[in-house]
Structure 1
Amino acid sequence: MSRSPALKRPTMIARAFRLHQTARAVCAAAVLALVPTLAHATEAPIPVKVFVGAMFEIGKNTGDRAGEFQHWYERYWMNAKPIEVTGAIAPVYCNDDGVCGAVLGMGKVNSSASMQAILLNPRFDFSKAYYILSGVAGTPPQRGTIADVIWATWVLDYDLGHRWAPEENTAGAPTFMPRKGYEDYRRFKLNPLLVDWAMKLSADTPLADSETAQRYRQRYPDEAARRAPAVATGTHMSGDTFFHGPGLSKEAQYIAKLYGADDYRITEMEGAAIALVIKRTHGTDRVLALRGAVNFDQGNPNETTLQHLDPKPGETAGGFAETVQNIERVGSRVVDHIVQHWDAWKDGVPAQ
């Protein structure tokens, strides 16, 4: 026997009340979820004076073995709250002086994706920002040594072009040909006036060294390889490939000369890609690239390239800890000067 409409009515009212309460709960949760977004939307964007981009950190940002970011973090952001950015590999940190920084990730795709996400995030105002792209790298023993710190005059893409096997070429000839029409994507001449400022402010920075690195340098006959570390300038070569050996090092120098750049002093992975991202949004007149050498890009004359890549215990270059310290020592001189003299720098690189 079916119930009468009068008997059904309390059940229907109760069900409607439960649905109403559920809808209110869902709406309340949605509003609460939007609160941080709405709060951020009403906040004024952070005016960035200097942005420091590192590529990796080994562990934590402080208190353990330092990678590329830790010394920067300990100097500028120990009390800063992390700012999560969708699309970036790690949070951004900013201090009250307008110095911001982040780990961007290793490799061209990884780092440039993070940089693009950060640049487009409305939490930040990059309209007057200066950039320091910071990290470790390799160096050819003919022109550099372990713990050197090199400001880039040019940043070049090592990969964008045509390559073929050496045995398919005239013996000893280059096996690289640039792809026409991609000039703006693969070579970046950094602002000479800004690079001059960087050298003026940091050339006399005392650099750390180690006995391990000192012993390792003596394995090489080159005068540049055997000397103490220094601050200098030169071309940075960006490639996703960790190229090693005298043949590929020679080819990197060939590419540098082919593009009209200075001698290549640094082999790294990210600079050209990050420079391109910054160029498309704000231009590269305020970009600096700073790298410290933690390895030679080839073995000494008494070892093969594979022996150089897979050394025996105790035969590594050493000097990593000292080099990451040197990078921050050198770079912070420029960061601090720009911030302390912001009125002179905010509208562009001042004349010397």
Structure 2
Amino acid sequence: MPFAVRRLIGTAWACLALFGVGTAGAASPAVDAVLACVPGKPCTTSLPVRMVIVTMFEIGADEGDAPGEFQLWKERRQLNVRIPFPQSWHDLYYNPDTQILAMVTGVGTARSATATMALGLDPRFDLSKAYWLVAGIAGIDPQDASIGSAAWARYSVDGDLVHEIDAREIPKGWASGFFALDRKGPDDPNPPDTDGRTFAMNPKLVDWAYALTKDTPLPDDPGVAAARAAYKGYPNAQRPPFVLIGDQLSAMTFWHGKLMNDWANDWVKRATHGKGEFVTSAMEETGTFQALTYLDKVGRADKQRVMLLRSGSNYSMPPPGVTAADNLLRENEGYSGMRASLESLYLVGSKVVDELLDHWDRYEQAPPQ
């Protein structure tokens, strides 16, 4: 059945749900069987999953109010079957017609790692052929892109497993107080990664996703334009939102400022031995990818089918003439690119989702090249 037809069917079931007609039993007997299973216990039926959408937070309700990362996917993809998931932060939502499953991991590496592992080991789902799209907002480096821009990552680098000396006590000549474990200082080259500090995406899948989406028109508005106009001397920060390839630093500390931004660029380069380029900052990915790496080893997920898309809701450093503290406190009152970044995530991510589902006969067996 063509995907466009399947989407119309999904919309019809969504309308029925509004009038109190249950979608689970009507849409699929398998859904009824899975809903009858007790979470955490054996289940004789599993739902087929073609796409897992991984989001990290929602602001309020799951639909109908100011959106977080999850809401647009739920509303626009008719993810109307709620599946209890008490072993994690948030219940799962599923569309039995498109076989899209969406999750909200909760904020931070601990929640993202445990949520992803819990899903991967859940017998209610067949994830053996599933693609995973991690889609979230981020701080974005004004040297590379503007708020509202969306970056496909080749690498996710951990920024927490480090040595740290307070900046007030670092030796003279050190660029920062951070340096790799088992090293003698920030100028000592990072060792080869052997303990999950750097995660590489499937490079062919990243290139394919970027080629498919690089010309996607992204939303812009006067507020976003005003925010980027302040970044004089940063031409990429002043561009209207666009799609790019750029890597992600995952750290639990919400850092901000030019000096920290310089550290992030240096850290990603060192951790990838010159292959990576820091563009976005977030918290969860290394937890998510550590879990997926373990799940891949037991055939519960395929790490070659994992994609990471982050869009800029705020800049990772202030514009000229503004202190890091002032800018961070101002952004904490409401990210200047929040809504634009959420729309960008959905628009760019949806192109990939539609292509995979429209040609599932081609992509079920092997990822696109």
Q: TM-score range by the shorter chain?
A: 0.7 to 0.9
Listed as ranges, the matches of 1:101-250 within 5 Å are 101-166=102-167, 167-180=169-182, 183-221=194-232, 222-250=234-262
Give 3-state SS (helix, strand or coil) of 2:53's partner. Answer: strand
Give 3-state SS (helix, strand or coil) of 1:344's partner. Answer: helix
Give the drift of 1:38. Answer: 7.2
In 2: Cα distance, 1:285 partner to 1:99 partner = 18
In 2: Cα distance, 1:149 partner to 1:308 partner = 22
* Greater Rg by CA: 1
CA contact 2:43–2:124 (8 Å) conserved in 1? no
Listed as ranges, the matches of 1:269-284 within 5 Å are 269-282=283-296, 283-284=302-303
Residues 164 and 47 of structure 1, relative CA distance in 2, 3 Å threshold: same
Give the drift of 1:159. Answer: 0.9
In 1: Cα distance, 2:335 partner to 2:90 partner = 29
Listed as ranges, the matches of 1:319-334 within 5 Å are 319-334=337-352
Deviation string 1:48-68 (CA, Å, 9 cap, x unpaired) is 111001000111121111110
Give the drift of 1:238. Answer: 0.3
Report the AA paired with residue 293 of structure 2.
K
Of 264, 279, 287 in structure 1, the residue corresponding to residue 306 of structure 2 is: 287
In 2: Cα distance, 1:86 partner to 1:329 partner = 30
Give the drift of 1:196. Answer: 1.2
Report the AA paired with residue 170 of structure 1.
K
In 2: Cα distance, 1:164 partner to 1:77 partner = 49
Give 3-state SS (helix, strand or coil) of 1:162's partner. Answer: strand
Listed as ranges, the matches of 1:298-313 within 5 Å are 298-311=317-330
In 2: Cα distance, 1:112 partner to 1:230 partner = 30
In 1: Cα distance, 2:335 partner to 2:123 partner = 43
Give the drift of 1:37. Answer: 3.3
In 2: Cα distance, 1:101 partner to 1:275 partner = 16
Give the drift of 1:88. Answer: 1.2
Task: Give the structure 2 partner of residue 6 of structure 1.
Answer: none
Give 3-state SS (helix, strand or coil) of 2:330's partner. Answer: coil
Of 341, 344, 348 in structure 1, the residue corresponding to residue 359 of structure 2 is: 341
CA contact 1:77–1:93 (8 Å) conserved in 2? no
Q: What is the Cα-based RMSD across aligned positions, in Å?
A: 2.1
Deviation string 1:14-54 (CA, Å, 9 cap, x unpaired) is xxxxxxxxxxxxxxxxxxxxx93379856521111110010
CA contact 2:51–2:133 (8 Å) conserved in 1? yes
Residues 142 and 172 of structure 1, relative CA distance in 2, 3 Å threshold: farther
Report the AA paired with residue 210 of structure 1.
D
Listed as ranges, the matches of 1:17-166 within 5 Å are 36-37=36-37, 43-78=44-79, 80-95=80-95, 96-166=97-167
Residues 234 and 38 of structure 1, relative CA distance in 2, 3 Å threshold: closer
Which has the larger displacement, 182-191 or 40-49? 40-49
Give the drift of 1:344. Answer: 1.2
Q: Taking structure 1 as the reference length, what is the TM-score of the superposition?
A: 0.84
Residues 339 and 43 of structure 1, relative CA distance in 2, 3 Å threshold: farther
Gaps of 5+ in 1: 1-34
Give 3-state SS (helix, strand or coil) of 2:37's partner. Answer: helix
Identity of aligned residues (%): 32
CA contact 1:202–1:334 (8 Å) conserved in 2? yes
In 1: Cα distance, 2:363 partner to 2:315 partner = 36
Give 3-state SS (helix, strand or coil) of 1:323's partner. Answer: helix
In 1: Cα distance, 2:341 partner to 2:368 partner = 30
Report the AA paired with residue 173 of structure 1.
A
Report the AA paired with residue 350 of structure 2.
S
Residues 36 and 317 of structure 1, relative CA distance in 2, 3 Å threshold: closer
Report the AA paired with residue 168 of structure 1.
I
CA contact 2:206–2:307 (8 Å) conserved in 1? yes
In 1: Cα distance, 2:335 partner to 2:67 partner = 17
Give the drift of 1:173. Answer: 2.2
Give 3-state SS (helix, strand or coil) of 2:82's partner. Answer: coil
In 2: Cα distance, 1:252 partner to 1:38 partner = 44
Give the drift of 1:301. Answer: 2.1
Give 3-state SS (helix, strand or coil) of 1:199's partner. Answer: helix
Q: Which of the pair is proportionally richer in helix? A: 1
Gaps of 5+ in 2: 1-34, 183-190, 297-301
In 1: Cα distance, 2:175 partner to 2:292 partner = 35
Task: Give the structure 2 partner of residue 252 of structure 1.
Answer: 264
Give 3-state SS (helix, strand or coil) of 2:155's partner. Answer: strand
Residues 162 and 336 of structure 1, relative CA distance in 2, 3 Å threshold: same
Deviation string 1:226-253 (CA, Å, 9 cap, x unpaired) is 1111011111100000011111111111
Report the AA paired with residue 327 of structure 1.
L
Give 3-state SS (helix, strand or coil) of 2:317's partner. Answer: coil
